[in-house]
Structure 1
Amino acid sequence: MTELSLQSAQKVLDSQPFSGLVGARLTEFGNGAATLEVDVREELLQQNGFLHGGVLSYAADNSITFAAGSTLGSAVLTGGFSIQYVRPATGRTLAARATVVHTGRRQAVVRCDLYTVSHEGAEALCAVAQGTVLSARPT
């Protein structure tokens, strides 16, 4: 996705039906980084009133892939990722901030910190993730 701007990257995100379902948006993209945000709303919560872990996993996966795409090019696929939940996610907005740790010719390793933002603007770390993204370009 090196040739894409934030606006173009958002169009790619908008073309993903699931991203539209959760209301995701990119607020940062390029130079080995991407931030994906999702507003917290009732239908994204689990039974105890916290943001569902699946929403956090989705945000980590997509922000990791977009960050890697800014260094590997637009044809990328998640090779795998792991996520560790630090605390229950509550607040107004979820922000998944991904940064490329290493890019090779065909893959990138990316770290993602997930924060919730309160109504007052305070941030709280709720999960950390790391993943590998593979270039899907033909060899």
Structure 2
Amino acid sequence: MAQKLLAAQPFSVLVGARVVAFGGGGATLEVDIRPDLQQQNGFLHGGLLSYAADNALTFAGGTALGPEVLTGGFTISYLRPARGMVLRAEAKVAYSSRRQATCTCELTTLDNAGTSTLCAIAQGTIIAR
């Protein structure tokens, strides 16, 4: 179901996002880092990190609230420039009630050797629609 929902999002298709884990209070999305997703200094554009955090948070929240959810709001802190081969956004539910879930997300990049580097963290509130 998560793959179907992601495939229905034109922007997710455009950037090539994929769900690699879903369930049990968490969700992980990945995007291959390509030159057309970078900014002028060769780092992954911050807007793509925000997109990945937003979607991962919402998918994680959906594991607790069901498929009809929206992002109520989120914050992101960029820790270091993102560079590598793959962007990974791993989100998990920290708390949920009947109508909303608070979720956290770590955004890492993976290099050719599979080494993970933390580049941003996010927290958001996901609401049942």
Q: TM-score, normalised by structure 2?
A: 0.99
Query: Does residue 17 of structure 2 align to residue 35 of structure 1?
Result: no
Of 59, 72, 81, 2:52 maps to 59
Query: Does residue 64 of structure 2 align to residue 71 of structure 1?
Result: yes
Of 84, 98, 107, 2:100 maps to 107
1:99 and 1:15 map into 2 onto residues whose CA distance is 22
How far apart are 1:108 and its partner, in Å?
0.2
How far apart are 1:120 and its partner, in Å?
0.8
Give SS of 1:56's match.
helix
Query: Does residue 112 of structure 2 align to residue 119 of structure 1?
Result: yes
- Over residues 12-45 of structure 1, what are the superposed CA-to-partner deviations in whole Å (9 max), with x where a residue is unaligned? 1011000001000000000110000000000000
Q: Which runs of 5+ in 1 are unaligned?
A: 1-7
Query: Does residue 18 of structure 2 align to residue 25 of structure 1?
Result: yes
Q: Which runs of 5+ in 2 are unaligned?
A: none
Give SS of 1:50's match.
coil
